Structure 1
Amino acid sequence: MLNEHFSHRTARRGAGFTQATRHLATYVNRAWRKQDMADVRVFDGRPKEPPARAQLEALLGELEREESKLLVSIMLDVVCPVEPLPATSTSALTQLMIWPEDDLKIGTCSLAEKYFLELAAAFVRGKGQVNVLVSDSGEPILLEKMNLGDNHSCISVAPVVLNQVRLPPGSLFGVRYEEPVALRPNRAAPGHVIPIRSCSGFRFLRLSTLSVAPEHRERAFTAHFQAQVDVGLFAPREATVAQLRQLALDQL
């Protein structure tokens, strides 16, 4: 995948890097069990001692490319899960509850960013809605789109932890919750503010092109990024997670 073999550079898969994050999501979403280790072909073992994690973090520090650091950071936490910090800690990240079943029918093709790119410009199509999912402290954490392609597809606007794995802003998720959970209507855009604690669970889907800075996007996502440009998606070179976060803040 990371050698960008042509089989991973298709209209559906996007590019090798995209496919690698999609493949890694299968490890993020499942609870690790010792008897499964033979199936985890990506890793030789699952070190638990602090020195092992320190060694891997040292290797992470040697990486230069932003996209490499993102991918290896996720792999590091899959191998050495992070211990949850107390909710009162100032450095604690929002913990997302895992949805245990792989039954969220949400696409992850190379055009899955389409409506999020438009939302970054504060544009909501037709009957579309955008829900802001907030932490216990009221901070915006994810944006969920409704009536814009697949419903219940989310993008993170802040770092989160799912299944003891840290995931960066710009990650794509599926969410499951029971209606109604709305906290209140948005201030401007159609949609609602929803507390994350009301959600039943999340599944990590893959990293979006927005997870990487605009100046590195074409290098990281290669054919995937070019496909977004070729079909005329809105501002794939310019849109940022910061814009999505501002949209979320404007609704609170």
Structure 2
Amino acid sequence: MKYIFITGSSKGLGKALAELFLEQSNTQVIGIARTCTIQHENYTHHPLDLSNPEMVNSFTFPQLSDAEEILLINNAGMLNPIKKIGTFSAEEVSRNIQVNLTSPIVLSNHFIKQFQQLECKRMIINISSGAGKKPIDGWAAYCSTKSGLNMFSEVMQAEQNLISYVYKRIRVIALSPGVIDTEMQAEIRESNSSDFSAVEQFKLYKQNGELQSAQQTAGKIISNLHLLFDKENVICSLRDY
């Protein structure tokens, strides 16, 4: 049996991934999100607010004695606050860090603790962004957390590579999926140019049909999972596939 854990499974890329995985046989999908928007006999919903540290820390992965493959996709993320440094509040940036960085770190920690000793195929995909590699004005929190997620993923894989018995190693990837037509893109287009100077460019992405659909992106991720698993690099971009 394959077990797929996906955060942010109620909408956008997370929901698209969950629905496509559910088309596969011998696959159980476990959605981790505040709300449930999927009804399927092989789908289990775990209600969880990723901005709540106590709830995230209390999450436990189940015992999976029949697992042939286990995948955790830390997909949930948030862009706000879209504000220049010097104008956002501590609460705004703390929530961003909790959702984008702390929660994936904690869930990955739980995943490794629970599944390290298994010898089946195991993989953690942290959904990152090109914003983790370059500074973007108005996106200080988002850029910083995605950069942190990249480094965390590299450290995780470095530790896994130290395990002498290769079949006990867990594969780790930080994957940039590209520009997707989701609610996050709508938030960007609604931002003020005084907070984000490139807002007009993102409006053009939508007008010119340059945004990928969540379904297209999910399909590309799933069809290339075998290549991502075998790839040596930790930080990857879906544009390369």
Q: Same fold (TM over 0.5)?
A: no
Greater relative contact order structure (CA < 8 Å, 6+ sep): 1
Q: In proportion to residue count, which structure has more helix?
A: 2
TM-score (norm 2): 0.27
TM-score of the two chains, using structure 1 as the length reference: 0.26
